[in-house]
């Protein structure tokens, strides 16, 4: 079992979480859109797919 010691040199730093870069957000959006389109395409029947 670990023992924690509080000393005058003990510091706690809370830093904000990193903000994702815009390119990361765009890639996430593109991936989600691609998954949605693929799911929609699979749902369409072959007859509807030929007509569209």
Q: Which residues lie closer than 8 Å to 52 by C-beta, 6 or more apart? A: 44
pLDDT in tens, the chain (52 residues): 667 778 888 887 888 888 889 999 999 999 999 999 999 888 876 666 565 5
Say what the pTM is: 0.49
**Do 44 and 52 form a contact (C-beta atoms < 8 A)?**
yes
User: Residue 37: its pLDDT value, please?
Assistant: 93
């Amino acid at each position: 079992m670990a023992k924690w010691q509080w000393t005058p040199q003990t510091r706690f730093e809370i830093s904000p979480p990193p903000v994702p870069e815009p390119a990361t957000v765009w890639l996430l959006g593109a991936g989600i859109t691609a998954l949605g389109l693929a799911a929609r395409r699979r749902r369409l029947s072959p007859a509807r797919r030929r007509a569209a």
